[in-house]
Amino acid sequence: MTPPVRSGRGAFRACPRGGPPMKLAGLLPAALGDPALARVRDRARGAGADGLDLTAPAALRPFVVAAAAADTAAGGARRPVLAVTATSREADDLALALGSLLPADEVAVFHSWETLPHERLSPRSDTVGRRLAVLRRLAHPQGSPLRVVVAPVRSVLQPMLKGLGDLEPVELRPGAEAALEDVARRLTDMAYARVDLVTKRGEFAVRGGILDIFPPTDEHPSRVEFWGDEVEEIRTFAVADQRTIEAVQHLWAPPCRELLLTPEVRERAAELAVKHPELEEILEKLAEGIPVEGMESLAPALLDGTDSMELLVNVMPAGTHVLLCDPERIRTRAHDLVRTSAEFLEASWAAAAVGGQAPVDLGAAAFKTLAEARAVAGDLGLPWWTLSPFGLAEAEAPGPEARPWEDPLPEVTVTPDLGDVITMAAQAVPLYHGETARVVDDLKRWSGDGWAVALVFEGHGPAQRAVEVLHDAGVGATIVESIDAPPQPGQLLVSCGALNHGFLDEVARFAVITGNDITGGRGASTRDMRKMPSRRRNTIDPLELRAGDFVVHEQHGIGRYVELVQRTVNGASREYLVIEYAASKRGQPGDRLFVPTDQLDQLSRYVGGENPALHKMGGAEWQKAKARARKAVREIAAQLIQLYAARKASKGYAFGPDTPWQRELEDAFPYTETPDQLAAIEEVKHDMEQPTPMDRLICGDVGYGKTEIAVRAAFKAVQDGKQVAVLVPTTLLAQQHYNTFTDRMGQFPLEIRQLSRFQTPRESEQTLAKAADGSADIVIGTHRLLQTSTRFKNLGMVIVDEEQRFGVEHKEYLKQLRTAVDVLTMSATPIPRTLEMAITGIREMSTIATPPEERHPVLTFVGAYDDKQVAASIHRELLRDGQVFYLHNRVESIDRAARRIRELVPEARVAVAHGQMGEDALEKVMVGFWEKEYDVLVCTTIVESGIDIPNANTLIVERADLLGLAQLHQIRGRVGRGRERAYAYFLYPREKPLTEHAHERLATIAQHTELGAGMYVAMKDLEIRGAGNLLGGEQSGHIEGVGFDLYVRMVGEAVQQFKGSARPRRRSTSRSTCRSTRTCRTTTSGSSGCGWRCTASSPPPAPRPSWTRRWWRCATGTASRRHLSPTSWRWPGSGSSPARTASPTSPCRASTCASPRWRCPTPSSCGSSATTRTPCTSTRPSR
């Protein structure tokens, strides 16, 4: 069975975002009007393994491939094609473009490993899954076979194990017979990891008769329900909250590794472990069936050498045409791959302390040369074609004039691959750089001359706007959903598709122009982000807790986490977190609290002192600590509420609803917004449309899309005639925001100015003058914006990026602004989740906790500095046309560090950047790095804040032991912002011992590489440094007493009380409001009723009741009642501890024994006085 291709779930669906496949199929017959392209198609139809060298601009690549692969009815040759590109990014772009010309499910990308063969790192499971899915379709073509496989040269040259296309996936359908135990065993054999909770691709979990599995090729995990040995239902669900998304009819799960630990492989590993004791640790695990990181590098040794390996061309169908797109770059890339692979083979084994060479022969896994790959293709009879942007002969000119410069061209050193030469007449479209007048003039001329013209945009908004502009200019253009037939002479069609660049063909009198041609380039588009991720929950994750971690329970105080256990109570099996508290009697073991996993909102991590004292369950210490802290926070809340009241009382400007231009700007956003982003955008717009000034904080991890929210808010403000000031802490960030705002708003009549030390005095004066007279719509600047000389005519909004980087005096100035204009603040420094509850109502907060889907965690390496490792890492990044940040945080020795990098990697273009450089020199270096003029930037922490260079995906930090934890996290956020897998190396001197704090910081950064780890890193940083300076020294004692999490929530509750709320926000397992403002809270449930107690939010009435019920206790799953004598009773909150001390032998506390939740059915159960003896009945709450 071939893998299914469902919309949004297929591994190889390459249709452009926003529309169905084959939207531009009519452009192929029009392009075949060029006799040269028609000759290419005819050559493909003929038989024989002949070579062919084509010369054509890069924009024609999808048309050449489509001409060879399309159906004969569509004018093609119907031949399978292997299109080889120099890089993975080019492969993805070519596949997307082909999805507009061919059926998208017949085009696949054969991805390369992110790792090198000998790197001692395993490729990601989703990469392996996609590769195996393609190989499966090639080995077992059913239905519609693959016509085009697009592969980077890295995939073509890397040998892979034979028979991967024959690996059987796990397939399940509703109604099919399958034993759950057998399925689980097969998944384990296919290298899926068995876990308690599925969160990542390549994981599965079994709970009773339910199987949760996350196949590496799917967008969402699936939940399979079994009834005995029959599959009853299959549903996809969201990772974030485990809720169902939709029912599906088919589950297809390929293996997660290309090397599976079969009995033969395990036996061979055991033999090698005896022969090579230096590899004993790795091989023994493999012999036991335990997957090891990087085990794929040992594949040739485990599978007996070269006979076990083959190349991609070996598995392509007969008659496949191999087409090299840009062969000159492919040859260079192939040479670099072979060299760097050998470097890594040496560096990785040397780092493993087994000598300078691998102890076993691993040559069969090394990259082959391009000549070897071509020889294999020749043996198989596969035609080998090349498509170069420059070649050996010029095009057939449309006119008869002579071209004397043709003669010397055959002397060019690019050698033809023993094939004929065909040169296309088409030329690349000149870049217009947003000059609309030039575009309109050219379109008028071509239409008047009888050309057929197609304008192709990525989104509907720009396409619609282009039609309006052309109509205003008197050019007749027609917007169509898809182009199914060739455009007629003189016709101008506008549509949407995934073509990056267009071309002009004078022979065929046909032109294709794209949105990128008009704007002059494309941003760091990452279409991997097109999938909609799920919004993350903000509760404690029991799987992140380690035994011994301190936690805070809202009712019982600080305890120590012990373990996660499963227990059966009243016939229901549930999971419980076991929390240990101080013993209620000396010499006895500590009391234990069992918290069910559906009541995790009662728990939070403890952040405060290093080693807090555990509280006693039922003791008075926890209540006293809470009372002291609550008294202290009232003072803070009173100050905060004054600012809130002043802002609410002041009159602001109410912005109008969204305009069509606003929607057009948002349509042009090249990514799919995350749910958090959409929610934040809606909240910001809602605030702007209110008559009171906005003061909202956007908090999110690095690279989560905060800038786009600022762009949309600023544009909305400008639409109403207001000016916007964007305040940033560094000059580099000002330059970057200026570039971003200009790129996003370049199509609209806005004036965007920059004010920083990168501008000359004359430019700064012009900017200030334009701000004062109102002609500058948006001014982006550093602290200069805060000077008294800066005046705005009609300021409506201030956007502050990285507010924590500004000093006290700057914040005072901003505080004055807040009562007059809308203020939007962005911070990449993550704030613990409950700070949101504290600040709510004073400064509204939007949290972006969801990373863009398919954004990969940064592979993080912490270790001693080694020249070989540094050189190999830089070489690997240069192989992918990437760039490197090399951080050396000492200005006096930074030039020496740069010199050393030049010696290690002579071919790298190295530049230096630090804060003590002159403005002009620094700007020149940073702009040069941005425009890819340099490969390695040796810099200080000047790059820490917000600088976004998606092409830089390797970070090397010297002396990482001297940097703070938040700094390390921020700096790591500079890489991993594009499609490529990112690497971060945090290095320390081999000869110097690490301090304890440095070791803890580096251990934390190495362990928490997952996306959104900033929340944990910030909490850990608070733990390492202590919480004393967070809210002033006098508050530190209270924070240590109740934990940071609960303390900040208390501030929030106090604020709510000051604002006039009836009650503070409380989180209880269940509650029912009674008469006379009491709350009857159930504390357990059992078969015989529920225990309860009434707590008063007002002074207790007189007379005091003479008795109350005790809290429930449970032992061996049953509930029992005990009454207190009147003499031992204390009114809750009267100063003494409530009389509910427990015997230390109780195995668990009643507050957590419940399976269903309970409530008081009527207010009379509590009564106006607490003397009522009616117990709560066992009614379930409505959900």
CATH number at residue 556: 2.40.10.170
645: Cβ contacts below 8 Å, ≥ 6 apart:
none
Nearest to 360 by CA among 284, 280, 288: 280
Which of 630-644, 712-726, 1105-1119 has the largest mean confidence? 712-726
Q: What is the predicted pLDDT for the residue at 864?
A: 87
> In terms of domains, do 798 and 910 share one?
no
Q: What is the predicted pLDDT for the residue at 862?
A: 87
Rg (CA), the chain: 33
Q: What is the predicted pLDDT for the residue at 362?
A: 65
pLDDT tens, residue by residue, 547-585: 888 888 888 899 999 988 888 877 777 788 899 999 888
535: Cβ contacts below 8 Å, ≥ 6 apart:
240, 241, 674, 675, 676, 679, 849, 850
The two three-digit tokens of residue 81, written as one number: 């094609």
What is the CB neighbour count within 10 angstroms for residue 764?
18
Residue 776 domain-assigned (yes or no): yes
At 274, the pLDDT band (50, 70, 90 cuts) reads confident
Q: What is the predicted pLDDT for the residue at 305?
A: 54
At 236, the pLDDT band (50, 70, 90 cuts) reads very high
> In terms of domains, do 243 and 326 share one?
no
> In terms of domains, do 358 and 454 share one?
no
Residue 1065 has pLDDT above 50, yes or no: no
pLDDT tens, residue by residue, 575-606: 888 999 998 888 888 899 998 877 777 888 78
The two three-digit tokens of residue 696, written as one number: 């909202």
> In terms of domains, do 759 and 874 share one?
no
Between CA 464 and CA 468 the distance in angstroms is 6
Contact between 143 and 103 (Cβ < 8 Å): no
Q: What is the predicted pLDDT for the residue at 860?
A: 84
The two three-digit tokens of residue 535, written as one number: 């919004």
Phi, psi of 638 (to 5 degrees): -60, -40
Q: What is the predicted pLDDT for the residue at 1116?
A: 33
> In terms of domains, do 493 and 567 share one?
no
In terms of C-beta density within 10 A (0-12 exposed, 13-18 middle, 19 or more buried), how is residue 848 classed? Answer: buried
Residue 452 domain-assigned (yes or no): yes
Domain holding 661: CATH number?
Answer: 3.40.50.300
Residue 268 domain-assigned (yes or no): no
Residue 210 has pLDDT above 80, yes or no: yes
Nearest to 738 by CA among 715, 716, 760, 711: 711
> In terms of domains, do 383 and 435 share one?
no
> In terms of domains, do 954 and 967 share one?
yes
Domain holding 227: CATH number?
Answer: 3.30.2060.10
From residue 459, alpha-carbon distances to 149, 443, 498, 672, 978 in Å are 26, 20, 9, 12, 21
Residue 1015 has pLDDT above 60, yes or no: no
Q: What is the predicted pLDDT for the residue at 1074?
A: 33
Mean pLDDT along residues 1081-1102: 35
| β-strands 1118-1120, 1113-1115 pairing | antiparallel
Residue 418 has pLDDT above 80, yes or no: no
Phi, psi of 1167 (to 5 degrees): 75, 170
pLDDT tens, residue by residue, 380-405: 989 999 999 875 443 333 443 444 44
**Who wins on pLDDT, 893 or 294?**
893
- Domain boundary residue among 1010, 1035, 1053? 1010
Residue 411 has pLDDT above 50, yes or no: no
Mean pLDDT along residues 119-146: 86
Residue 75 has pLDDT above 60, yes or no: yes
**Who wins on pLDDT, 933 or 1135?**
933
Q: What is the predicted pLDDT for the residue at 963?
A: 84
Mean pLDDT along residues 979-998: 83
pLDDT tens, residue by residue, 149-189: 999 999 999 999 888 888 889 999 999 999 999 999 999 98
**Who wins on pLDDT, 1137 or 703?**
703
pLDDT, the chain, mean: 76
At 767, the pLDDT band (50, 70, 90 cuts) reads very high
**Rounded to two decimals, what is the model's pTM?**
0.63
Q: What is the predicted pLDDT for the residue at 212?
A: 93
Between CA 1022 and CA 609 the distance in angstroms is 10
- Domain boundary residue among 615, 631, 658? 615
Residue 1062 has pLDDT above 60, yes or no: no
Residue 976 domain-assigned (yes or no): yes
Q: What is the predicted pLDDT for the residue at 945?
A: 61
Which structural domain, as residue segments, surrounds residue 148? Answer: 33-165+314-395
Residue 831 has pLDDT above 70, yes or no: no
> In terms of domains, do 227 and 329 share one?
no
Residue ranges of the alpha helices (H) in 235-353?
Answer: 263-275, 280-287, 299-302, 312-315, 327-351
> In terms of domains, do 880 and 991 share one?
yes
Residue 1081 has pLDDT above 90, yes or no: no
Burial per residue of 191-222, b for 16 or more beta-carbon CB atoms within 10 angstroms, e otherwise:
bbbebeebbbbbbbbbeeeebbbbbbbbbbbb
Domain holding 512: CATH number?
Answer: 3.40.50.11140
Residue 246 domain-assigned (yes or no): yes
DSSP label of 1070:
-
Concatenated DSSP letters for 972-984? HTTS--SSS--EE
441: Cβ contacts below 8 Å, ≥ 6 apart:
none
Q: What is the predicted pLDDT for the residue at 1171?
A: 33
> In terms of domains, do 144 and 79 share one?
yes
Residue 71 has pLDDT above 80, yes or no: yes
Mean pLDDT along residues 710-731: 92
> In terms of domains, do 667 and 807 share one?
yes
pLDDT tens, residue by residue, 349-369: 444 434 444 556 666 778 889
Residue 419 has pLDDT above 90, yes or no: no
**Who wins on pLDDT, 1131 or 442?**
442
Whole-number percent of the chain with pLDDT over 90: 26
Residue 131 domain-assigned (yes or no): yes
Residue 261 Cα to chain centre, angstroms: 31
> In terms of domains, do 844 and 863 share one?
no
- Domain boundary residue among 971, 994, 1010? 1010
At 610, the pLDDT band (50, 70, 90 cuts) reads low
Q: Sheet with 822-827: list strands edge to edge.
A: 752-755, 778-781, 723-727, 795-801, 822-827, 695-700, 844-848
Burial per residue of 696-715, b for 16 or more beta-carbon CB atoms within 10 angstroms, e otherwise:
bbbbbbbbbbbbbbbbbbbb
At 807, the pLDDT band (50, 70, 90 cuts) reads low
Domain count within the chain: 7
pLDDT tens, residue by residue, 901-929: 999 999 999 999 988 887 778 878 887 88
Whole-number percent of the chain with pLDDT over 70: 73
Q: What is the predicted pLDDT for the residue at 673?
A: 80
**Who wins on pLDDT, 255 or 1036?**
255
Contact between 633 and 1054 (Cβ < 8 Å): yes
Residue 380 domain-assigned (yes or no): yes
**Who wins on pLDDT, 307 or 622?**
622
Residue 655 Cα to chain centre, angstroms: 33
pLDDT tens, residue by residue, 483-526: 999 999 999 999 999 898 999 999 899 999 998 888 765 444 43
Residue 908 domain-assigned (yes or no): yes
From residue 262, alpha-carbon distances to 169, 192, 280, 291, 465 in Å are 15, 14, 19, 11, 59
DSSP E strands in 483-556: the ranges are: 492-496, 503-505, 510-514, 550-553
At 852, the pLDDT band (50, 70, 90 cuts) reads low
**Who wins on pLDDT, 406 or 784?**
784
At 674, the pLDDT band (50, 70, 90 cuts) reads confident
